[in-house]
């Protein structure tokens, strides 16, 4: 997969509050093309595998409980410099520290319920994209 992709999730809290449309609009307006998209729901075990790198941290169990608490939207997004640009678009992990106009500033409810996930490296993007999408679902 070329480097111009990132993987994203709209988290259960943002889906519950019907923020999916506005968040997708911001993503498109920022120049990202949607390569793959699906509404799905993780089991607790699947959330634990997705967030494997955080296993052992104090927030891990609660995070996996939350991430499996309701439907999510999985996204593969294409743009030059996608990983870095998407992290800028969503803002700081902690919404209190996120810049005005970022997705997390606008839609996060808390540090845990911070509206969206975005890949932090090419390696993790590939792993995360493969976790959700087969090749026939990517255009
Ligand atoms: N998280 C949390 N408490 C923390 C740090 C992180 O609940 O102290 C949650 C939050 O939902 C975050 C996710 O765990 O988005 C993954 O953490 P990471 O440090 O990878 O932040 P991100 O890459 O999502 O900005
Ligand atoms: Mg992360």
**pLDDT value of position 3:** 62
DSSP structure string for 63-126? HHHHHTSS-EEEEEEE-TTHHHHHHHHH--SSGGGSPTTSHHHHH-SSSSS-SEEE-SSHHHHH
**pLDDT value of position 102:** 98
**pLDDT value of position 39:** 98
- Closest residue by Cα to residue 32 from 83, 82, 100, 84: 82
**pLDDT value of position 110:** 98
**Ligand 1 and 11: CB distance under 6 A:** no
89 CA distance to ligand 1 centroid (A)? 16
**Ligand 1 and 93: CB distance under 6 A:** yes
Q: Give the start-to-end residue ranges of the domains of the chain.
A: 5-137
Say what the pTM is.
Answer: 0.97
- Closest residue by Cα to residue 63 from 4, 110, 16, 118: 110
The fourth-level CATH superfamily of domain 5-137 is Nucleoside diphosphate kinase-like domain (3.30.70.141)
Residue ranges in the chain modelled with pLDDT below 50: none
Distance, in Å, from the CA atom of 90 to the CA atom of 103, rounded to the nearest integer, reads 5
Question: Which are the contacts of 124, defined by CB distance < 8 A and separation ≥ 6?
Answer: 7, 53
**Ligand 1 and 13: CB distance under 6 A:** no
Which of the listed residues 87, 89, 93 should we mutate to test ligand 1's pocket, taking the one with most ligand atoms within 8 A of CB? 93
Is 54 a residue of the active site?
A: no
């Amino acid at each position: 997969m070329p480097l111009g992709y990132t993987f994203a999730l709209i988290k259960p809290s943002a889906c519950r509050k019907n923020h999916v449309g506005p968040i997708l609009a911001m993503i498109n307006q920022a120049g990202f093309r949607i390569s793959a998209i699906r509404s799905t729901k993780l089991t607790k075990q699947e959330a634990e595998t997705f967030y494997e790198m955080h296993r052992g941290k104090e927030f891990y169990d609660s995070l996996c409980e939350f991430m499996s608490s309701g439907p999510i939207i999985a996204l593969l997004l294409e743009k030059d410099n996608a990983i870095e640009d998407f992290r800028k678009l969503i803002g700081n992990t902690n919404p209190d520290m996120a810049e005005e106009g970022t997705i997390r500033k606008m839609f996060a409810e808390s540090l845990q319920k911070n509206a969206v996930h975005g890949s932090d490296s090419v390696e993790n993007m590939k792993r995360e994209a493969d976790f959700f999408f087969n090749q026939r679902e990517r255009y």
